[in-house]
Each structure stands twice: as structure tokens, then as C-alpha cells.
Amino acid sequence: MAKLIVSDLKDLEGKKVLVRVDFNVPIKNGVISDDNRIVAALPTIKYIIEHGGKAILLSHLGRVKSDADKKELTLKPVAERLSELLEKPVTFVPENEGKEVEDAVAAMKNGEVIVLENTRFQDIDNDFGKRESKNDPTLGEYWASLGDVYVNDAFGTAHRSHASNTGIATAMKAAGKLAAAGYLMEKEIKFLGNAVSNPVHPFVTILGGAKVSDKIGVITNLIPKSDHILIGGGMAYTFLAAQGHKIGKSLFEEDKVELAKELLAKAGDKIVLPVDHVAATEFSNDATHEVVDIDIPDNEMGLDIGPKTVEKIQRNLKRC
């Protein structure tokens, strides 16, 4: 691939390497229930530290809306699990900006790893607003100032223009510093690049996630290449609202309904949406749920696809 990747970085001895990883793992009461994303980042982290680099890891975790969220969304349990997987100490820094961070970085020895606190803690308690999620350039510049090299290995957030990816990369380029893709990013780009550039038909795309706005470019580019685009997750409810269906209290983007109508018109019958749902009155593991048809009652929200939709998806995939 044409992009610089982490294995192209041969001179890492003593270099401070900022690594944007995706450690957005499920945690409840400080216990990680699935560490796959942490495991997926290990090859990149190991390459850096085995070549004498100092790995400074940044990641978001969950959606931080208030100070009350911080206790449950700290990256401390992630740093502890990473230490177990690497079989070496990992320093957790309970801040991601300021003197404590700078002192921790300055004290690093070659081959050491530190994890900075959740980048989305920058989305609250400041005058800018969502500094991370809205890509405050001063925050990206600050984080870039901590490192000599930047490696992005967070494929799951690569489509977002956040301070910890776009902001840092922009600042690194302006400062004449290297930026590269990690092994996970390289793997995903190679796989998707080949699949999208040379699709074998029938070619079916499956899209999920919460926001239509995050996937506009993806959907637009895939419409002419895909035989069908199967849409689930929270974004499905924006499309269903665009079709005039009742979505109850389901997550959706009201300001993107018109855009969803345009995409539906452009795609014709290529876009496949849920025809039934698993719905409940609240988003909770303990909530009583039921399967409802395409229209969701006003007091309920769609939380998953229903059995009819599963069968519909299976029929589409069996043609591939």
C-alpha cells in the first residue's frame, strides 16, 4: 500500500511515539467483558517498544456527557489489562493534558508504555465544547507536541474528524513529523480496498453504527458498487423515519432525515432496512423487551433487529 505504515519506521530508538488505538471496550464496574480490541492493538505496540520507541497511547471510551460518566469510563482498567497482555508494566496517567502528562512522558525510558486518560474527557468542562469530538485544533496541536512520531491504529474511528486522529495528524504534518498507519489499520485498508476496488458480484455491504452523518461518504461511494446495502444499528432508525415509519424513542438524527431520503432515492431498492425490531422502554440490560413489527410504539425504542430481519439478511447473504 502507498501509505506509510508502522513497519516502515526503522529508527524508533528513543522516539516518543503517539499511538491512537481503539480501546473502546465494554466495561462494567471496572471489569472488561471483551478485550478483543486491546489484543488487536498488540502487534503495533510491540513493534514500537521492541524497536526502542516510547509508546504513548490515546483512546476514547464510550460517550462522555457529564462528570458523572468519568468513573465508569476511565481507561485505567484498560491499562491494567494491557499490562497483563504485554507482560510488562504499563503506566496509566489519569489526565490527557497538562503537567502530569508532560512529566510522565518526559520520564519515559525506551520500550515503555503509557496510557493517557480517555480522550473524550475533553468533551466536557471547557469553553470550546467537545474539544475531542469537534476537533479543537489547539488540542490536536498539544497532543502532537508530546511525540516525535504519530501512528494511527484506530480503524474503527478513522472516519471521524477528531482531535486525536485528524487533529494530531494535521499538526504532525505541519511540524514536519512522521505519521503512519498501524498494523490493524493496514490490514483493514488492504482488505477493504481490494473488496471495494474489485468487487465480486453479488456484492453486499453491511453497515451499522449510530449516525448517518458518519457514513455519508461510505454509503454514497458504495451505492454504485453494491447489489444491496444492509443497514442496521442506530442509523437504521433515521432511514426508517425518512420512510415515514414510527420509530418511537429510538436513536436517530432528526437533522439528517432529509439526507436519508436523498440516499434512499439514489439507491433505489438497494438499501435494505429492518422490518421488525427488538424494542424496550429503556436502554438497559434489565429492561423488559419484545419483538415488534416495522413501526415501533411511541413509548419504546428499537435496540436490535428482529427475527424477520435476520431471515431477510440471511437470504441476501446466501446469494453472495
- Domain containing 247 — which CATH number? 3.40.50.1260
For the chain, the domain total comes to: 2
Domain extent at residue 46: 6-186
Mean per-residue pLDDT of the chain: 93
Residue type, 59: S
- Note the pLDDT of residue 283: 86
- CB atoms near residue 143 (< 10 Å): 27
Residue 45 contacts residue 18 (beta carbons within 8 Å): no
Same domain, 142 and 179: yes
Is residue 54 in some structural domain? yes
Residue 261 contacts residue 242 (beta carbons within 8 Å): yes
Residue 270 contacts residue 284 (beta carbons within 8 Å): no
Q: What is the pLDDT of residues 181-219, one digit of tens each?
A: 999 999 988 887 777 788 888 999 998 887 877 787 788
Beta bridge partners of 279: 290, 302
Same domain, 302 and 227: yes
Same domain, 262 and 290: yes
User: Checking phi first, is residue 30 left (phi over 0); if not, alpha (psi -120 to 50) or beta?
Assistant: left
Q: How far apart are CA 217 and CA 240, in angstroms?
A: 19
Is residue 228 in some structural domain? yes
Q: Which of 130, 158, 186 is a domain's end point? A: 186
- For 158, the grid coordinates are 478513522
- Note the pLDDT of residue 15: 98
Give the pLDDT band (50/70/90) at residue 1.
Answer: very low
Same domain, 71 and 180: yes
Same domain, 157 and 21: yes
Q: What is the CA radius of gyration of the chain?
A: 21
Q: Which of 186, 220, 241 is a domain's end point? A: 186
Residue 112 contacts residue 49 (beta carbons within 8 Å): yes
Q: How far apart are CA 279 and CA 287, in angstroms?
A: 10
Is residue 194 in some structural domain? no
C-alpha distance from residue 39 to each of 8, 30, 150, 185, 191 (Å): 22, 18, 20, 14, 19
Give the pLDDT band (50/70/90) at residue 277.
Answer: very high
**Could you check whether the bond before residue 202 is cis, i.e. omega within 30 degrees of 0?**
yes
Q: What is the pLDDT of residues 239-276, one digit of tens each?
A: 999 999 999 999 899 999 999 999 999 999 999 999 99
Name every residue whose Cβ is closer than 8 Å to that of residue 220 and which is 6 or more positions away in sequence: 263, 266
pTM (2 d.p.): 0.74
Query: What letter would DSSP give residue 282?
Result: S
